């Protein structure tokens, strides 16, 4: 089945630094999504990408839908302590079931 490989698995950074994470797949996806999960909560949608090459921003977050449709990137600029959490990528494939495939997650810790 379709799988997503997300990296890095974890990051420990200093407040103010920029962060980059990515998601790759051997399969093509039609939509890429990025979620954030705060400790003890369910994931919340950050950004949705709908076409290859698309670059979308949401405040300090910027995400891109790869040209090959097999990858996506998320960047966070000038990190702050509340950026702490787990970031998940998710892909929606070409099948008509509408099932989302999630990456393994990137755990981000920010040192004040």
Q: b/e string for 5-18 if b means 16 or more Cβ within 10 A?
A: ebeeeebeeeeeee
Give yes or no for a cis peptide into 8 (omega within 30° of 0): yes
Among 14, 39, 97, 112, binds other proteins (CB under 8 A): 97
Of 14-22, 57-65, 74-82, 84-92, the window that binds other proteins (rule: CB under 8 A) is 84-92
Among 28, 99, 109, 111, binds other proteins (CB under 8 A): 99
Interface of this chain with other proteins, residues 4 to 43, rule: CB under 8 A: 4, 6, 9, 31, 33, 35, 40-43
Does 88 interact with other proteins (rule: CB under 8 A)?
Answer: yes
Supply angle C-alpha 75, 79, 82, rounded to 5: 115
Cα distance between residue 28 and residue 19, in whole Å: 25
**Cβ 27 vs Cβ 1: under 8 Å:** no
Q: Which residues bind other proteins (CB under 8 A)?
A: 1, 4, 6, 9, 31, 33, 35, 40-45, 48, 88, 90, 92, 97-100, 102-105
């Amino acid at each position: 089945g379709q799988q997503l490989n997300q990296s890095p698995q974890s990051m420990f950074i200093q407040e103010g630094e920029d962060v980059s994470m990515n998601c790759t797949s051997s399969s093509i996806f039609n939509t890429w999504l990025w979620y954030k999960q705060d400790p003890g909560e369910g994931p919340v949608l950050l950004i949705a990408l709908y076409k290859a090459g698309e670059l979308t921003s949401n405040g300090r977050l910027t995400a891109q839908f790869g040209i090959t449709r097999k990858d996506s990137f998320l960047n966070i600029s000038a990190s702050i302590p509340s950026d702490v959490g787990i970031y998940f990528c998710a892909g929606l494939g070409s099948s008509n079931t509408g099932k989302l495939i999630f990456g393994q997650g990137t755990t981000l810790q920010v040192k004040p």
